[in-house]
Amino acid sequence: MKGVYKRIPLFNCSHVEIGGGSFVSGKSAYHPDDIPLIQRSANIYLRGIREVALKKTGGKCGLCGCILLSGEIPWEVHHVAPKFLKGTLSKKNVLPLCKECHLEVTNAVKARDIDAIKEYVDQNILWSEVITWASKSIQNNSGDNSTPN
Ligand SMILES: [Zn+2]
């Protein structure tokens, strides 16, 4: 019952980023002391993935072929097997797409546009399982309006 006054630092939960689990051994993505190291590691990893993606296409957009190396055209790392179908950021699964093309592909998937998805599969922009997913999604039409990323 003899209490000791001790200042305990708490962190504001609304400022803790959730997601992107820790891949730095022994560190917690939720602990304020560990967050900078984890973010640094994640940035290095993502930078590496961007370089890997660019090398795969010789610095061009994987769809329209525009040159991305100059840095003038914004581009993003595209997942051939989408994240919502458990696609990862592995070297095999990434492609650089200019922002415009990435939006086009993403919108086709969100709209379950089977014809467009098939074209992207033929061009190796999308994984063939996306056709299966979209077909099932349309058949079920169970009010699942979730928008995949
Ligand atoms: Zn493009």
Q: Three-state secondary structure along the chain?
A: CCCCCCCCCCCCHHHCCCCCCCCCCCCCCCCCCCHHHHHHHHHHHHHHHHHHHHHHCCCECCCCCCECCCCCCCEEEEECCCHHHCCCCCHHHEEEEEHHHHHHHHHHHHCCCHHHHHHHHHCCCCCCHHHHHHHHHHHHCCCCCCCCC
Count up the domains in the chain and report the number: 1
What's the 20 CA to ligand 1 centre distance in angstroms? 27
* CA 82 – ligand 1 centroid, Å: 18
- Residue 106: pLDDT band with limits 50, 70, 90: very high
Q: What is the pLDDT of residue 13?
A: 66
For the stretch 1-58, pLDDT in tens is 678 888 877 776 666 655 555 555 677 777 888 888 878 887 787 788 999 999 999 9
- Residue 2 in any domain: the answer is no
Q: Which domain holds residue 124?
A: 25-140
Compute the distance from residue 79 Cα to the ligand 1 centre, in Å. 14
7 lies in some domain: no
6 within a domain of the structure (yes/no) = no
Tell me whether residue 147 is in a domain.
no
Is 102 among the domain residues?
A: yes
Query: Model pTM?
Result: 0.69
Does residue 5 lie in a domain region?
Answer: no
For the chain, percent of residues with pLDDT exceeding 90: 52
